[in-house]
Amino acid sequence: MKILISNDDGILAPGITVLEEVCREIGDVVVVAPDRQQSAASHALTMGRPLRPVQLAEDRYQVDGTPTDCVLLALEIILDQKPDFVFSGVNHGSNMGEDVLYSGTVAAAMEGLSMRIPSVAFSYAGFDGEHMATQKEWLTRLITDIVHVESFPVETLLNVNLPPIPGNDIRGIEVTTLGRRVFAESLMRMNDPWGREAYWIGGGKSSWSGREDSDFRAVAEGLISVTPLHVDLTNYKLLESVRSWQLGK
């Protein structure tokens, strides 16, 4: 069993170390991750300059690029054979609802999926990571079950969110749907040192909504949320309706 691990928090983030330690008990691991914080990089590729992978240790590399860059370089250049799985995380902060559209963590897994490799994104729903290390037993159980799935779906990745509580308090694992989150006041107005107006994106307030089996509800109830994500964004229910508009005729 060969596992490629990446993330968007950077090679030095505690979360990737937790995931690496768990996965080394399950199979052979290669870590290829950004050399710095790349949160909210989504599926960005670095096109305007060359990339330089740096080997830090055996089977451990850092890349001066995005999470997607890391997975692409790993699969095309660094590894001599394709891994059985691509795992991304453990991210410091949740990736639920619309977060998956911005998330570099999810994008790294999605890049693995685009190369026909079963892929999973892992996130911890708290930025301090206080209880993350106490959840290794749950991660081991979950990952062991995942790697032994007989037929992992070829067009689907799994998005896992861990509740920010001690491992002993986790109530179980639940398969969920994506919730919906609306942000407000997420732009902070400020002045730079020269008095010019500037804006900082982040923070603010958010409100959640969604079905009873939504990811945010499961996490709030002390459950590990596992959401299957399909990369085909087509709204098939509306195809005939939009065709009836007779656009351009």
Q: How far is CA 185 from the centre of its chain?
A: 25
CA gap 241, 238 in Å, rounded: 5
**Tokens 């963590």 correspond to what residue?**
105
Which H or E run includes 122?
strand 119-124
Architecture of domain 2-179+211-243: 3-Layer(aba) Sandwich (3.40)
Q: What single letter denotes the amino acid at residue 44? A: A
CA gap 33, 41 in Å, rounded: 13
| Residue length of the chain | 249
* Domain spans, the chain: 2-179+211-243
| Backbone dihedral region for residue 217 (phi beyond 0: left; psi -120 to 50: alpha; all else: beta) | alpha
- For residue 85, list its beta bridge partners: 3
What separation in angstroms does the CA of 133 have from each of 90, 107, 128, 139? 10, 24, 12, 10
Q: What single letter denotes the amino acid at residue 112? A: G
- Cβ proximity of 109 and 83 under 8 Å: no
Tokens of 18: 């937790």
The one-character DSSP state at 200 is: E
Q: How far is CA 79 from the centre of its chain?
A: 21
Tell me, what's the pLDDT at 183?
Answer: 65
* pTM over cut 0.85: yes
CA gap 17, 159 in Å, rounded: 19
Please give the chain's pLDDT, 249 residues, in tens.
999 999 999 999 999 999 999 999 999 999 999 999 998 889 999 999 999 999 999 999 999 999 999 999 999 999 999 999 999 999 999 999 989 999 999 999 999 999 999 999 999 999 888 899 999 999 999 999 999 998 898 899 999 999 999 999 999 999 999 998 776 677 888 898 999 999 888 776 766 777 899 999 999 999 999 999 998 889 999 999 999 998 988
